[in-house]
């Protein structure tokens, strides 16, 4: 039996763009992702699915129903979101903030005084803000924990027009994270939200998976992420501006809140397939996996020069984990090898013989245990699993995935990792970005036509664990993948 502390949180995560829309009046047509998934050329090229977010699960209107389901499954925490473009469909450039730069032009300070908050109120959609308050309050009034993440990928179209960037170049279009004015505008947004909603928030997160934004947007143009602009220089610039944006948002939130502020990162586990390359793979982790959080924790990283204005800007760490990346020696070089991790067969098997999700992601819970122990040793920060789940429409593997990964969390905690909770991705099926509705991550199946919710069997497994704060003996067998492996 694997017992968790009584104050260990079980819950789920959601984001605005993926969950809120679905019924008339819930649309957010002023974001880069909205423009991107509606673009006829993207649809024709197969970069996006052709599914549209306005046909989604409708959490904006049906949040009470989802909260009822979550509560019935023993959940006591939600990590939610807020859509920047919904709150500010119009530009905020004219609202003044005090911005300080160093001799190299880096943004080292942004101050957003209360007078600027009042000016922002004249531009903001205050009705949308009030509706967010109603959503969060409904959960809080049940005696539950609410964690608010400010940025989960969509940017207002006035700040980033991805179709123009792709066609004209970033110097001739609103360029998003390639322009450091986005750092200042994000700080304004963060200050505004903290000022108005801090009473409902237990813990803050500035952003979710910034590495997915700069990697997929600028180095993987076939992945279907805006702006689909291939440029390693642009990737480096976007990464640096996101690092600065986190640090400046951390600072302004602290002006209006005494709560902890963290960042949520998309982790994997770089996994050597042979012992003689372990040191090379460890160096890859240092250089590629840890540099973002290194920068905002230590104030420097492998690719970021030392800056005091970045140091100590993270109070807790959100860990999103789905699978590994396997490395081997290929023609004298240590490289990722296909057939494992995120490059398995969709709905089939990895080269290891382990089953893969509908997305083709290998089930590899060992990577989560190793990752958590490594992060604990590196940072010594409180952590929370803020995303973990599987695209599995038939619910064939989700019970095994859930229990095996919770066992991995438990084992890491036994070794000293300070993990405070597990938030599943997700409660309900959602709009999965460029994949549309093809990938089903929910413990709860959603009929996108009727918006009706139906429990999958894995939801009942989750309920047993969450309500008892343990993996009970009768479910322990689900932690083993042995009889799922193809020999």
pLDDT of res. 342: 98
Domain membership flag for residue 351: yes
The residues annotated as belonging to the active site are 209, 387
| Cα gap 90→123, rounded to integer Å | 7
Is residue 131's pLDDT more than 90?
yes
Task: Report if residue 485 sits inside a domain.
Answer: no
Residue 484 lies in a domain: no
What pLDDT is stored for residue 442 in this prediction?
98
266 within some domain: yes
> How confident is the model over 253-268, as a mean pLDDT?
98
Span 13-28, pLDDT tens digits? 999 999 999 999 999 9
Q: Alpha-carbon distance 458 to 480, whole Å?
A: 16
Confidence tier at 1 by pLDDT (50, 70, 90) = confident
Please give the pLDDT value at position 413. 98
Total count of domains within the chain: 1
What is the per-residue pLDDT for 277? 98
User: What backbone phi and psi angles, to 5 degrees, belong to 324?
Assistant: -105, 175
376-to-263, 380, 414, 472 alpha-carbon distances in Å? 15, 5, 12, 26
Q: Are 10 and 74 in contact (CB under 8 A)?
A: yes
Selection from 347, 147, 362, 171 nearest residue 260 by Cα: 147
Domain containing 465 equals 2-479
**Percent of the chain clearing pLDDT 70 (strictly above):** 100
Give residue-wise pLDDT tens across range 402-414.
Answer: 999 999 999 999 9
- Give the confidence band of 294 by pLDDT, cuts at 50, 70, 90: very high
Q: Residue 50: which region, alpha, beta or left (left: phi > 0; alpha: psi -120 to 50)?
A: left
Of 383, 182, 416, 132, nearest in space to 263 by CA:
383
What tokens appear for 201 in the block? 């928030």
pTM assigned to the model: 0.98
In Å, how far are 105, 209, 363 from 212, measured between CA atoms?
26, 6, 20
Q: Tell whether 487 is covered by a domain.
A: no
Average pLDDT of every residue of the chain: 98
Q: Is residue 270 very low, low, confident or very high in pLDDT (cuts 50, 70, 90)? A: very high
In 3D space, the residue among 210, 479, 255 whose CA is nearest the CA of residue 366 turns out to be 479
| Per-residue pLDDT tens digits for 20-72 | 999 999 999 999 999 999 999 999 999 999 999 999 999 999 999 999 999 99
Phi then psi for residue 440, to 5 deg, are -110, 110
Percent of the chain with pLDDT over 90: 99
CATH number at residue 397: 3.20.20.80
pLDDT band at 487 (very low <50, low <70, confident <90, very high): confident
Tell me: the pLDDT tens digits for 186-227?
A: 999 999 999 999 999 999 999 999 999 999 999 999 999 999
């Amino acid at each position: 039996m694997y017992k968790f502390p009584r104050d260990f949180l079980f819950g789920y995560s959601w984001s605005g763009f993926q969950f809120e829309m679905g019924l008339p009046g819930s649309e957010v047509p002023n974001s880069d992702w909205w423009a991107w998934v509606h673009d006829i050329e993207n649809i024709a090229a197969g970069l996006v699915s052709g599914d549209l977010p306005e046909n989604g699960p409708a959490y904006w209107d049906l949040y009470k129903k989802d909260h009822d389901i979550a509560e019935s499954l023993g959940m006591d925490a939600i990590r939610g979101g807020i859509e920047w473009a919904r709150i500010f469909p119009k530009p905020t450039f004219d609202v003044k903030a005090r911005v300080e730069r160093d001799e190299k032009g880096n943004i080292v300070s942004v101050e957003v005084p209360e007078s600027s908050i009042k000016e922002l109120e004249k531009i903001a959609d205050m009705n949308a803000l009030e509706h967010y308050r109603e959503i969060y309050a409904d959960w809080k009034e049940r005696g539950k924990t609410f964690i608010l993440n400010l940025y989960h990928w969509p940017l207002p179209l006035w700040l980033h027009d991805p179709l123009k960037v792709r066609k004209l170049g970033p110097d001739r279009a609103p360029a998003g994270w390639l322009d450091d004015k986005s750092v200042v505008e994000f700080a304004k947004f963060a200050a505004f939200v903290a000022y108005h909603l801090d009473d409902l928030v237990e813990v803050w997160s500035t952003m979710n998976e910034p590495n997915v934004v700069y990697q997929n947007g600028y180095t993987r143009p076939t992945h279907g992420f805006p702006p689909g602009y291939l440029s390693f220089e642009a990737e480096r610039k976007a990464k640096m501006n996101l690092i600065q944006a986190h640090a400046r948002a951390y600072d302004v939130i602290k002006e209006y809140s005494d709560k902890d502020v963290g960042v949520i990162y998309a982790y994997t586990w770089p996994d050597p397939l042979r012992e003689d390359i372990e040191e090379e793979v460890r160096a890859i982790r240092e250089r590629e996996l840890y540099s973002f959080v290194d920068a905002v924790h230590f104030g420097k990283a492998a690719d970021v020069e030392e800056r005091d204005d970045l140091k100590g800007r993270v109070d807790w760490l959100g860990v999103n984990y789905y699978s590994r990346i396997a490395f081997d020696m290929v023609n004298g070089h240590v490289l990722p090898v296909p057939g494992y991790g995120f490059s398995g067969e969709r709905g089939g098997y990895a080269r290891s013989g382990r089953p893969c999700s509908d997305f083709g992601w290998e089930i590899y819970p060992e990577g989560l245990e190793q990752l958590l122990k490594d992060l604990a040793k590196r940072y010594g920060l409180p952590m929370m699993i803020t995303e973990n789940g599987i695209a599995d429409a038939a619910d064939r593997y989700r019970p095994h995935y859930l229990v095996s990964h919770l066992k991995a969390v438990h084992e890491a905690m036994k070794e000293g990792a300070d993990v405070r909770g597990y938030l599943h991705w997700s409660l309900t099926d959602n709009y999965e970005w460029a994949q549309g509705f093809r990938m089903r991550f929910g413990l709860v199946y959603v009929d996108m036509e009727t918006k009706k919710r139906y429990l999958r069997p894995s939801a009942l497994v989750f309920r047993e664990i969450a309500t008892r704060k343990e993996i009970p003996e009768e479910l322990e067998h689900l932690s083993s993948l042995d009889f799922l492996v193809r020999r």
